[in-house]
Amino acid sequence: MMGYVSYLSFFLTLALIYGIATMGLNMQWGFTGLFNAGVVGFFAIGGYAYAIVIGPDRPDLVGGFELPFVIGLLGALAFSALAALIVGLATMRLRSHYLAISTFGIALTIQLVALNFESLTAGNLGLIGLGRPLEDAFDTPLGFNLFYLGLMVVATLVVYGALQLILHSPWGRVLRAIREDEEAAISLGKNVSRFRLEAFVIGCSLMGLAGAFYVGSIGYISPFDFLPIVTFQIWTMLILGGSGNNRGAILGAIVVWGVWTSSGWLISTVLPPAWQVRGAASQVILIGLILVLTLLYRPRGLIGERVTVSSGAKLNDR
Amino acid sequence: MTTRTWALAATVAIAALATGTTGAQAQDCTIPLGAVFPLTGSNGPIGEPIAETGRWAVEQMNEAGGVQGCEVEYLLRDTQGQSAVGVDAARNLVDVQGVPALLGAISSGVSLPILTSVTAPSEVVQVSCCSSSPSFTELAESGESGGFFFRTLPTSRAQGVVLGNIASQNYDEVSVIYINTDYGVNLAQEFQEAYEAWGGTILESVAYNQEQASYRPEVNSALAAEPDALVLIAFPVDGSTILREWISFGGPQEFVLSNALRSDDVLEAVGAQFLDGALGVDNAQVSGPSVEAFNADYQAAFDADPNRPGIHINYDAAAVTLLAMAAAPEATGPAIRDHIRVVTNPEGEEVYPGVDGFSRALELIEAGEPIRYVGASGPISFDENGDVAGPVLIWTVTNGALAEDRVITVDEVNALFDELAQ
């Protein structure tokens, strides 16, 4: 039984980490309409920034400052925000698919930099000995898993609360106005590119924060952790959970990561050993099938955006 | 959140739990052995036959009588080539299915996070066939892996040590030029350690970057100290350029060369007459009765050529783990870890792969006799970091052609390691 608790706490930890990144993407796509196809790039920058700040000093590498966990998180936030600012200044004039193509390219570039900037990232060897926060304080992996899950629950609630606060402020309403009709927002005198840039930077720094939490829970980082498929997974989480709703983003992360992992569990339990090697392909089919069916029956996601524009406006039933 | 969505979330959670319980309920005597390999994704074509070989080894062990009278259950998971998926699969196998040992993965980028976040903290043995990163050795040296990691892929250390050994027998003072990659840096370091331990002096050690038109500065600084010979760790194209420049600057025509330079292209590009007497090392082709027996068995079982990457070494990874499980008093990670070296004891009676080999091994274990598993990739013995050495070939250039001088067997390599350790 303790095994289940240990596994489920580990599972939920990863799911909530993805949930934070999904909320970041929700800020960009769900509220502002920015098509960021380079999620994993900012996830990677956060992860590496964290690893370099907290990692052990190694003579052959730049970095390794051995600073505390919290400073590592702040470093991840700062560096991913800075990267997003640079990328944003260059790309924010691009619309939809142009932005998608350029951010996708940027994410690939970031992964290649991680692979080749060996004096900083140790290249394909990855950075080892990162140590997980307070790991020594726990006798069993179960204790650590529960502690880290608690940390992730707190982090998720803080991020969720902060996002709800700013998205329901006048600032957040402008974002939705831009998403619905950019020209209309401009005609109201809003500086659209500034708002888009702000939303982009905040969203990317959340992805960076998620990257730091990921590395914190694993204790190792390599360019291998940041394949383009991670971007696809996080997009799936947002669309399936409900774009434009942060609770949907969190639920989507849990459900999609659950489908992704439990399908492997299912296959290895159901199929006889002789079939398991072939069965792996059916896992991928199963994942695709569940995602397609969910979207067919709940096209707006599990929890879609609530149709309220402002409290004073009268709504036609949609 | 509405009640409906909570109900949905709860359903998903219950479904996830329900699928798991069927696996954990097996009350009859079975011992699980976990395996995580990429079965889909870009490494899928390599991973599939490797994973199949592991299952085959388990089947053979069950046929031979199983582990402590129990059937071994092979629990295979797909990593999809993604580290997060691999870590989750490993966590699930360890926590929910209770595996005491785990085979895999293939890429170091997946095996390493599994080691740091799952197997080492949970005290589960991890045996990888194919992960080559030197980081595993580093983690073992610093104690972070707790001795739970083993791999059956020969490391480059054997070549470095043999290179140092033959250089020290022939030359007192050398200069080293090496390629600035993981391969070159590691090999140069291992060479230096061995060569200096056997009394040699390295006058100059110069790293070079790949694919330059000329290496005059590197060659000049290596030559300036007037060494007896040049030790060159390089790939053929750059290596040929360096050798030509070395010779044209009047350097001594005495060379000790790394494995990648064992190529007719190098002889042609430099001129074989200038390289006469050069020495070099390379991986030796593993041979012997155990290897041939495995190849024949594999051919019969799968109707496929056994010369595929990782097949032999993953079979051995599975076999060593299974034998250690049989020898250990209980099926727990620490007990299995402590018995891996017991079943590869160089003083023990040799046992081979296959059902007959496993039966014999089980008999000997029952009788309390020491055994030595000699596997699909030849004899195996793990060093204190869980690494294995492979046999090394010494080659020369004689009469304008490449020639095989002799093979340093695994036992001889290990004897050299012991000599160094003292």
Closest by CA position to A22, among listed A199, A194, A294, A252: A252
Mean pLDDT for all residues in chain B: 88
Residue given tokens 């195996």 in the structure block: B380
Give me the sheet containing B349-351, strands edge to edge: B349-351, B371-375, B378-379
Which residues 6+ apart lie within 8 Å of A188 measured at CB? Answer: A177
Region A92-114 average pLDDT: 87
Examine the domain organization and report whether B375 and B397 are in the same domain: no
Q: What is the pLDDT of residues A13-67, one digit of tens each?
A: 999 999 999 999 999 999 999 999 999 999 999 999 999 999 988 877 887 888 9
CATH number, domain with residue B415? 3.40.50.2300
Compute the nearest-CA separation of B116 from chain A (Å): 6
Using pLDDT thresholds of 50, 70 and 90, give the confidence band for residue B20: very low
The predicted structure's pLDDT at residue A312: 52
Residues of chain A by 3-state class (helix, strand, coil), percent to 5: 75, 0, 25
B334 vs B12: CA distance, rounded Å? 35
Region A192-196 average pLDDT: 91
Residue of A12, A40, A222 best to disrupt the B interface, most CBs of B under 10 A: A222
Cα A248 to Cα A22, A171, B228, distances in angstroms:
9, 21, 72
The predicted structure's pLDDT at residue A29: 93
* Beta strands B30-37 and B101-104, pairing class: parallel
The predicted structure's pLDDT at residue A309: 57
The predicted structure's pLDDT at residue B26: 37
Helices and strands, counts by H and E, chain B: 16, 15
Residue B358 main-chain phi, psi, to 5 deg: -65, -40
Residue of A1, A57, A140, A218 best to disrupt the B interface, most CBs of B under 10 A: A218
Q: What is the pLDDT of residues B182-235, one digit of tens each?
A: 778 888 988 999 999 999 999 999 988 877 889 999 999 999 989 999 999 998
Give the nearest partner residue to A7 out of B58, B80, B95, using CB atoms: B95
Give the nearest partner residue to A219 out of B5, B55, B117, using CB atoms: B117
Inter-residue contact B331 to B325 (CB < 8 Å): yes
B343 vs B131: CA distance, rounded Å? 22
A97 vs A183: CA distance, rounded Å? 18
b/e per residue B232-250 (b: at least 16 CB within 10 A): bbbbbebbbbbbbbbbeee
B382 vs B137: CA distance, rounded Å? 12
The predicted structure's pLDDT at residue B421: 84
- The half-sphere exposure of A39 on its side-chain side, counting CA atoms within 13 A, is 30
Amino acid, single-letter form, for residue B389? A
* Beta strands B173-179 and B125-128, pairing class: unpaired
A3 has pLDDT over 70: yes
Residue given tokens 């870590």 in the structure block: B87
Which residues 6+ apart lie within 8 Å of B321 measured at CB? Answer: B33, B101, B103, B125, B127, B336, B340
- Please state, for a pLDDT cut of 70, what percent of chain A lies above it: 96
B27 has pLDDT over 50: no
Asked if the bond preceding B105 is cis, omega within 30° of 0, the reply is yes
**CA B184, chain centre distance (Å):** 17
B378 has pLDDT over 50: yes
Inter-residue contact B166 to B193 (CB < 8 Å): no
Residues of chain B with Cβ-Cβ distance to A14 below 8 Å are 84, 88
Q: What is the pLDDT of residues B317-370, one digit of tens each?
A: 999 999 999 999 999 999 999 999 999 988 899 999 999 999 999 999 999 899
**What pTM value is reported for the model?**
0.84
* A276 at B interface, C-beta within 8 A: yes
Inter-residue contact B283 to B394 (CB < 8 Å): no
Using pLDDT thresholds of 50, 70 and 90, give the confidence band for residue A317: very low
Between B154 and B152, name the one with better pLDDT.
B152
Examine the domain organization and report whether B279 and B368 are in the same domain: no
Report which DSSP code applies to B119.
Answer: I
Q: Report if residue B4 sits inside a domain.
A: no
Give the nearest partner residue to A268 out of B16, B76, B135, using CB atoms: B76
Biggest distance spanned by C-alpha atoms of chain B: 85
The predicted structure's pLDDT at residue A216: 94
B406 has pLDDT over 70: yes
Joined tokens for residue A71 = 């400073």
Beta-carbon separation of B109 and A124 below 8 A: yes
**CA A110, chain centre distance (Å):** 16
Inter-residue contact B372 to B247 (CB < 8 Å): no
The predicted structure's pLDDT at residue B4: 56
Using pLDDT thresholds of 50, 70 and 90, give the confidence band for residue A93: confident
- Please state, for a pLDDT cut of 90, what percent of chain B lies above it: 56
Q: Report if residue B18 sits inside a domain.
A: no
The predicted structure's pLDDT at residue B10: 53
Residues of chain A with Cβ-Cβ distance to B23 below 8 Å are 265, 268-269
Mean pLDDT for all residues in chain A: 89
Region B94-118 average pLDDT: 92
* A285 at B interface, C-beta within 8 A: no
B17 has pLDDT over 50: no
> Containing H/E element for B396?
strand B392-398
Closest by CA position to B323, among listed B387, B374, B261, B266: B374
Give the nearest partner residue to A7 out of B1, B39, B96, using CB atoms: B96
Helices in B64-199 by DSSP H: which ranges?
A: 83-95, 108-114, 120-122, 135-141, 157-170, 182-197
Joined tokens for residue B315 = 């079979």
Region B170-174 average pLDDT: 94
The predicted structure's pLDDT at residue B22: 39
The predicted structure's pLDDT at residue B23: 37
Inter-residue contact B50 to B80 (CB < 8 Å): no
Examine the domain organization and report whether B258 and B161 are in the same domain: yes
Closest by CA position to B65, among listed B370, B326, B270: B326
A42 vs A88: CA distance, rounded Å? 12
Q: Report if residue B361 sits inside a domain.
A: yes
B74 vs A275: CA distance, rounded Å? 12
Q: What is the pLDDT of residues A140-149, one digit of tens each?
A: 888 999 999 9
Beta-carbon separation of B19 and A269 below 8 A: yes
Using pLDDT thresholds of 50, 70 and 90, give the confidence band for residue B21: very low
The predicted structure's pLDDT at residue A158: 97
- Please state, for a pLDDT cut of 90, what percent of chain A lies above it: 56
A267 has pLDDT over 90: no
- Residue numbers of the domain that contains B137: 28-155+285-389
Report which DSSP code applies to B284.
Answer: P
Residue given tokens 């709860």 in the structure block: B10
A76 vs A55: CA distance, rounded Å? 13
Compute the nearest-CA separation of A266 from chain B (Å): 6
Q: What is the pLDDT of residues A157-169, one digit of tens each?
A: 999 999 999 999 9
The predicted structure's pLDDT at residue B6: 55
Closest by CA position to B48, among listed A285, A264, A277: A277
> Lowest mean pLDDT: which of A101-110, A183-192, A308-317, B82-91?
A308-317
Residues of chain A with Cβ-Cβ distance to B118 below 8 Å are 141
The predicted structure's pLDDT at residue A73: 95
Q: Report if residue B90 sits inside a domain.
A: yes
Joined tokens for residue B404 = 């095989």
Helices in B249-353 by DSSP H: which ranges?
A: 264-270, 289-302, 311-327, 333-340
Joined tokens for residue A260 = 């992704």
SS3 A192: helix
Q: How many domains does chain B have?
A: 2
SS (H, E, C) B165-224: HHHHHHCCEEEEEEECCHHHHHHHHHHHHHHHHCCCEEEEEEEECCCCCCCHHHHHHHHH
- For chain A, give every domain's residue range: 2-227
The predicted structure's pLDDT at residue A314: 55
- Please state, for a pLDDT cut of 70, what percent of chain B lies above it: 93
B110 vs B148: CA distance, rounded Å? 16
